[in-house]
């Protein structure tokens, strides 16, 4: 008896010691363990409820720390169009909110951190006082992937400054019809430009180290990077007549050659997640497409991050949405979706998915695949080691450095479509010294209008929605102190009888919109834009600047204008527009979209047989910075060749004192665009100076004298 109890005491002691050991050491929490060992260890400890919680993304406005703990919620997203931004929340407030939810997750049994996502698609556009970068349609015109990468890095910092480690960007849609309300989220109609601009991904996530596994999700583990999301898989930009969320009718080769290539680039660059498109491919909803999500993306392309649905995306598998939610869940999860943006009715989602697994309709292996992918991204993000916001980053939100970068992006995104009624008399760059200048138009003094959709609110908003520089303010900042600037939003004819202007700048365009709300059949600008153009341009020499998410109908008014600039949706840094209008910098942007004459021509993309645009893909006139011309350059121009319809001008600039231009940067363009500034790089200038050689800068400009008969 006595010996037995001693023995039993020893056994109990042993068990107790093991238990203590177990409590102290959890393999999945050990950063020294390999990734797969941590994932396997954690999954082996998880109940079905905990696994399904990881797959459930809910909206901030239905989230509390208690709900996260009770339902083992693994992820949520923060929106902006509700109470938070109306109170102009600071970076610290955002971080407090994120951390409070995170504490809820960490207090759950296994302490798995939540991943918070957000739609930061042109800067941290949810947050008041963030830097708002130009929308993708403008960035495509820059033809500058390195600039886009820098924007990714700045956006990552500003997203982190709001306590968030994950953004649903980039949108790598190839918009084939500008009537689509999301066309401004697309870099180009040309997949090659979209592919080049996937450089946003290493900007957001960091550069993959040399010895990193191929095609594996990557996020730099310093807390200045965020997980990205290539979206919307796949064919979102190809729907019939540009109708949002509609059907992309194209054969497999078309899908593969136009809409798919940028996914290969994104995966190669380590994109952490992919979002599925609301749209259909040949009548089949993408959210239910097993062959493309599991068969192609996961099995063929070997994507190892997680696949996320769009918000209520599985609901829309049925028509009307949500009529058979159990079926939607079944179809979506079986197709290969790992994380579902529910986002409100999460109890229903959790109950229905649980019962589908318990009834063996959805196999446990499918759930484990989803959870493995989600945990992989969380571990790569180092969320287990650093779940809380980094307070040191608060100052990054809307920092001066980021605003300078955005201003550079604005300058490079502007496309000059017309310059002078005849080319011998260009209107741009504008003289800073003038007696009296008129600025007109609904978009001249409106931050909300120049930022467009997805800014502070889902659809954006006209008016003073956030901090920035309007184009009017920028013009006033730029002109000579002696120049009088008069602003009149929509002057009538009468107004010009009593005023005498040296020239006018008209800034008009589209009002903000996003998604299906922006679908447009007529592609006209907001009233009274056309009458503002007519009234002003018939009275005084004028440059028209269009603020829009896409090409708009302009041909009937083109004759009246002396100059025309496409400024897209430039964001908060309107100073970039004035920088180029006034010649502190030259125009360099090239159309990344075809500019149609009429909507009847659509869809019409470069390479189409019926191609007859107002301005072709790749078009964009250039100007020379005025200081360059004025002070330090000998300028000559000659007509190099002439046909009935085209003249090729050649401009020669000879720099007399290159040491005065250390800020001149190289612009590289595709060879087939007609007229780049062929500026020399700093290095080349230095080399030339050492060689004591004289050198020349050339640019050529193609002028369309009249349209082909
Ligand atoms: C959350 O936001 C949605 C969408 O705007 C709204 O319909 C819903 O009523 C909100 N829920 C709560 C609890 O505030
Ligand atoms: C929902 O869809 C499933 C699968 O197609 C079907 O069996 C079921 O009858 C549907 N339920 C309703 C209420 O339509
Ligand atoms: C906006 O952010 C800048 C830079 O962080 C800060 O200096 C400024 O006070 C902020 N403005 C407002 C109105 O919050
Ligand atoms: C926005 O702010 C500017 C500058 O403070 C002001 O001139 C303008 O009238 C304001 N616009 C609106 C719509 O409130």
Residue range 2-19, pLDDT digits in tens: 454 555 555 555 555 555
Tell the residue number behind the tokens 């959210």, with chain if given: 287
Sequence-ordered list of residues with C-beta below 8 angstroms from that of 16, at least 6 positions apart, any chain: none
Looking at residue 82, what is its pLDDT? 57
Residue closest by Cα to atom 8 of ligand 1:
61
The whole-angstrom separation of Cα 319 and Cα 315 is 9
- What's the alpha-carbon Rg for the chain, to the nearest Å? 28
- CA count, 13 A, side-chain hemisphere, 6: 3
Ligand 2 site, residue 496, Cβ cutoff 6 A: no
Please name each of the domains of the chain with its CATH number.
51-396 (3.20.20.300), 414-621 (3.40.50.1700), 624-709 (no CATH)
The whole-angstrom separation of Cα 107 and Cα 667 is 53
Q: Residue 322 corresponds to which tokens in the numbers above?
A: 């949500």
Least confident of 245-254, 309-318, 526-535, 621-630: 621-630
Residue 644 has pLDDT above 90, yes or no: no
DSSP 60: G
Distance (Å) of CA 636 to CA 546, 558, 696, 700: 31, 28, 11, 11
Among candidates 269, 278, 227, which has minimal Cα distance to 118? 227
What pLDDT band is residue 115 in, cutting at 50, 70 and 90?
Answer: very high
User: What is the number of other CB atoms lying within 10 angstroms of the CB of residue 26?
Assistant: 15
Looking at residue 80, what is its pLDDT? 67
Q: Residue 597 corresponds to which tokens in the numbers above?
A: 């004459």
Q: Which of 90, 129, 154 has most ligand 3 atoms within 8 Å of its beta carbon, as the pocket-test mutant?
A: 129
Collapsing DSSP to helix, strand or coil, 324 comes out as coil
Q: Which of 58, 59, 60, 61 has most ligand 1 atoms within 8 Å of its beta carbon, as the pocket-test mutant?
A: 61
Residue range 149-166, pLDDT digits in tens: 999 999 999 999 999 999
Residue range 454-473, pLDDT digits in tens: 999 999 999 999 999 999 99
Start-to-end C-alpha separation, the chain = 112
- For the segment 30-42, the average pLDDT, to the nearest whole number, is 98
Contact between residue 119 and residue 107 where contact means Cβ atoms under 8 Å apart: no
What pLDDT band is residue 518 in, cutting at 50, 70 and 90?
Answer: very high
Residue range 329-348, pLDDT digits in tens: 999 999 999 999 999 999 99
Least confident of 60-64, 470-474, 625-629: 625-629
Residue closest by Cα to atom 7 of ligand 3:
399
Among candidates 101, 167, 165, which has minimal Cα distance to 133? 167
Contact between residue 223 and residue 160 where contact means Cβ atoms under 8 Å apart: yes
Collapsing DSSP to helix, strand or coil, 263 comes out as helix
The secondary structure of 368-410 as a DSSP string is: HHHHHHHHHHHHHTTTTT--S--GGGGGGTT-HHHHHHHHHHH
Residue 629 has pLDDT above 80, yes or no: no
Looking at residue 659, what is its pLDDT? 58
The whole-angstrom separation of Cα 448 and Cα 682 is 37
Closest atom of ligand 1 to 59 CA is 1
Residue 685 has pLDDT above 50, yes or no: no
Active-site residue list: 310, 515
Looking at residue 667, what is its pLDDT? 27
Residue 677 has pLDDT above 60, yes or no: no
Closest atom of ligand 1 to 62 CA is 13
Degrees, nearest 5: CA angle 537-576-632? 90
Q: Residue 495 corresponds to which tokens in the numbers above?
A: 């107004």
Which residues are registered as beta bridge partners of 650?
638, 700
Residue 261 has pLDDT above 60, yes or no: yes
Phi, psi (degrees; rounded to nearest 5) at 171: -80, 115
Q: Residue 148 corresponds to which tokens in the numbers above?
A: 């886009």
Residue closest by Cα to atom 7 of ligand 4:
445
Q: Which has more pLDDT, 653 or 486?
A: 486
Sequence-ordered list of residues with C-beta below 8 angstroms from that of 473, at least 6 positions apart, any chain: 445, 574
Contact between residue 226 and residue 156 where contact means Cβ atoms under 8 Å apart: yes
The whole-angstrom separation of Cα 418 and Cα 14 is 85
Distance (Å) of CA 646 to CA 302, 426, 585, 672: 49, 17, 27, 16
Phi, psi (degrees; rounded to nearest 5) at 107: -85, -5
Residue 668 has pLDDT above 80, yes or no: no
Kind plus residue range of the DSSP H or E element containing 42: helix 35-45
Residue 406 has pLDDT above 60, yes or no: yes
Ligand 1 site, residue 61, Cβ cutoff 6 A: yes
Residue range 525-540, pLDDT digits in tens: 999 999 999 999 999 9
- For the segment 80-92, the average pLDDT, to the nearest whole number, is 71
Residue 689 has pLDDT above 50, yes or no: no
Exposure string (b/e) for 190-225, b if CB count within 10 Å is 16 or more? bbebbbbbbbbbbbbbbebeeeeeebbbbbbeebbb
Closest atom of ligand 2 to 330 CA is 4
- For the segment 623-633, the average pLDDT, to the nearest whole number, is 65
Residue 447 has pLDDT above 90, yes or no: yes
Collapsing DSSP to helix, strand or coil, 671 comes out as coil
Phi, psi (degrees; rounded to nearest 5) at 39: -60, -50
Residue range 163-192, pLDDT digits in tens: 999 999 999 999 999 999 999 999 999 999
Say how far residue 581 (Cα) sits from the centre of its chain: 25
The whole-angstrom separation of Cα 667 and Cα 589 is 10
Closest atom of ligand 2 to 327 CA is 2
Residue closest by Cα to atom 7 of ligand 2:
327
Q: Which of 444, 445, 467, 473 has most ligand 4 atoms within 8 Å of its beta carbon, as the pocket-test mutant?
A: 445
What pLDDT band is residue 362 in, cutting at 50, 70 and 90?
Answer: very high
Say how far residue 252 (Cα) sits from the centre of its chain: 27
Least confident of 324-328, 463-467, 640-644: 640-644
Ligand 1 site, residue 62, Cβ cutoff 6 A: yes
What pLDDT band is residue 46 in, cutting at 50, 70 and 90?
Answer: very high
Contact between residue 271 and residue 219 where contact means Cβ atoms under 8 Å apart: no
Residue 410 has pLDDT above 60, yes or no: yes
Residue 647 has pLDDT above 80, yes or no: no
Looking at residue 84, what is its pLDDT? 55
What pLDDT band is residue 424 in, cutting at 50, 70 and 90?
Answer: confident
Cα 306 to middle of ligand 3, angstroms: 36
Residue closest by Cα to atom 11 of ligand 3:
129
Long-range contacts of 396-401 (CB under 8 A, 24+ apart): 396/91, 396/157, 396/158, 396/160, 396/161, 397/91, 397/124, 397/127, 397/129, 397/130, 397/158, 397/161, 397/162, 398/129, 398/130, 398/131, 398/158, 398/467, 399/131, 399/157, 399/158, 401/154
Looking at residue 639, what is its pLDDT? 61
User: What is the number of other CB atoms lying within 10 angstroms of the CB of residue 581?
Assistant: 28
Ramachandran sector of residue 129 (left: φ over 0; alpha: ψ -120 to 50; beta: rest): left
Looking at residue 443, what is its pLDDT? 98
Residue 53 has pLDDT above 60, yes or no: yes
The whole-angstrom separation of Cα 179 and Cα 612 is 18
Looking at residue 631, what is its pLDDT? 46
- For the segment 69-94, the average pLDDT, to the nearest whole number, is 82
Cα 402 to middle of ligand 3, angstroms: 13
Looking at residue 674, what is its pLDDT? 31
The whole-angstrom separation of Cα 437 and Cα 501 is 5
Helix ranges (DSSP H) in 543-646:
555-558, 575-581, 626-632
Sequence-ordered list of residues with C-beta below 8 angstroms from that of 165, at least 6 positions apart, any chain: 115, 116, 159, 223, 226, 227, 381, 383
Phi, psi (degrees; rounded to nearest 5) at 376: -60, -50
Ligand 2 site, residue 645, Cβ cutoff 6 A: no
Residue 682 has pLDDT above 60, yes or no: no
Kind plus residue range of the DSSP H or E element containing 152: helix 145-160
Distance (Å) of CA 199 to CA 150, 204, 268, 269, 582: 9, 9, 11, 8, 31
Residue 418 has pLDDT above 80, yes or no: yes
- For the segment 673-682, the average pLDDT, to the nearest whole number, is 34
Least confident of 119-123, 206-210, 369-373, 675-679: 675-679
Least confident of 193-207, 253-267, 636-650: 636-650
Residue closest by Cα to atom 10 of ligand 3:
129
Among candidates 417, 473, 454, which has minimal Cα distance to 132? 454
Pocket of ligand 3 (CB under 6 A): 129, 395, 397-399, 467
Tell the residue number behind the tokens 């992919």, with chain if given: 274
Share of residues in the chain with pLDDT > 70 (%): 84
């Amino acid at each position: 008896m006595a010996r037995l109890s001693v023995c039993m005491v020893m056994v109990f002691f042993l068990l107790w010691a093991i238990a203590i050991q177990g409590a102290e050491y959890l393999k999945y929490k050990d950063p020294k363990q390999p990734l797969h060992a941590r994932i396997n260890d954690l999954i082996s400890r998880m109940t079905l409820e905990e696994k399904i919680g990881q797959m459930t993304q809910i909206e901030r406005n239905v989230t509390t720390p208690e709900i996260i703990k009770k339902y083992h919620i693994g992820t949520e997203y923060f929106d902006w169009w509700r109470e938070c931004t109306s109170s102009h929340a600071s970076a610290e407030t955002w971080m407090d909110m994120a951390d409070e939810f995170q504490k809820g997750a960490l207090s759950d049994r296994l302490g798995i951190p939540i991943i918070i996502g957000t739609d930061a698609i042109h800067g941290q556009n949810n947050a008041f006082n963030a830097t708002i970068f130009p929308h993708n349609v403008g960035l495509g015109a820059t033809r500058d992937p390195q600039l886009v990468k820098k924007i990714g890095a700045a956006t990552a910092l500003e997203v982190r400054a709001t306590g968030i480690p994950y953004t649903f960007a980039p949108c790598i849609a190839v918009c084939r019809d500008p009537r689509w309300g999301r066309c401004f989220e697309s870099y180009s109609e040309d997949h090659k430009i979209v592919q080049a601009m996937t450089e946003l991904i290493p900007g957001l996530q960091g550069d993959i180290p040399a010895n990193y596994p191929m095609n594996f999700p990557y996020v730099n583990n310093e807390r200045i990077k965020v997980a990205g999301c290539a979206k919307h898989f796949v064919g979102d930009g190809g729907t019939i007549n540009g109708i949002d969320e509609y059907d992309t009718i194209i054969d497999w080769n078309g899908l593969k050659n136009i809409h798919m290539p940028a996914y290969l680039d994104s995966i190669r660059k380590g994109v952490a997640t992919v979002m599925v498109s609301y749209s259909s491919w040949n009548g089949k909803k993408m959210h239910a497409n097993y062959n493309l999500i599991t068969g192609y993306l996961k099995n063929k392309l070997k994507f190892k991050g997680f696949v996320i649905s769009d918000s209520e995306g599985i609901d829309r598998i049925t028509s009307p949405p949500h009529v058979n939610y159990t079926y939607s869940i079944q179809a979506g999860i079986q197709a290969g979706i790992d994380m579902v943006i529910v986002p409100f009715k999460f109890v229903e989602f959790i109950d229905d998915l649980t019962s589908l697994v318990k009834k063996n309709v959805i196999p446990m292996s499918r759930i484990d695949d989803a959870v493995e992918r989600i945990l992989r991204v969380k571990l790569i993000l180092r969320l287990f080691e650093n779940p809380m916001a980094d307070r040191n980053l608060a100052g990054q939100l809307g920092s001066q450095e980021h605003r300078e970068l955005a201003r550079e992006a604005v300058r490079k995104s502007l496309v000059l479509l017309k310059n002078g009624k005849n080319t011998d008399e260009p209107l741009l760059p504008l003289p800073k010294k003038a007696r009296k200048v008129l600025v007109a138009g609904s978009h001249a003094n409106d931050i909300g209008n120049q930022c467009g959709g997805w800014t502070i609110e889902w659809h954006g908003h006209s008016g003073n929605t956030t901090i920035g520089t309007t184009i009017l303010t920028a013009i006033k900042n730029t002109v000579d102190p002696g120049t009088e600037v008069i602003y009149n939003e929509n002057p009538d004819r009468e107004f010009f009888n009593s005023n005498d202007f040296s020239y006018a700048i008209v800034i008009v365009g589209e009002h903000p919109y996003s998604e299906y709300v922006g679908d447009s059949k007529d592609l006209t600008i907001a009233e009274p834009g056309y009458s503002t153009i007519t009234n002003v341009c018939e009275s005084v020499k004028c440059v028209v600047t269009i603020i829009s998410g896409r090409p708009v109908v302009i041909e009937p008014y083109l004759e009246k204008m002396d100059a025309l600039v496409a400024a897209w949706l430039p964001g908060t840094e309107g100073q970039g527009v004035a920088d180029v209008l006034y010649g502190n910098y030259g125009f360099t942007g090239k159309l990344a979209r075809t500019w149609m004459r009429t909507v009847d021509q659509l869809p019409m993309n470069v390479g189409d047989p019926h191609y007859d645009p107002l301005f072709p893909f790749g078009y964009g006139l250039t100007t020379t910075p005025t200081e360059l011309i004025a002070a330090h350059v000998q300028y000559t121009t000659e007509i190099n060749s002439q046909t009935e319809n085209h003249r090729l001008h050649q401009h020669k600039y000879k720099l007399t004192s290159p040491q005065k231009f250390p800020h001149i940067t190289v612009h590289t363009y595709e060879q087939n665009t007609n007229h780049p500034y062929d500026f020399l790089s700093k290095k080349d200038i230095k080399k030339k100076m050492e060689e004591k050689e004289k050198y020349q800068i050339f640019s050529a400009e193609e002028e369309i004298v009249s349209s082909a008969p």
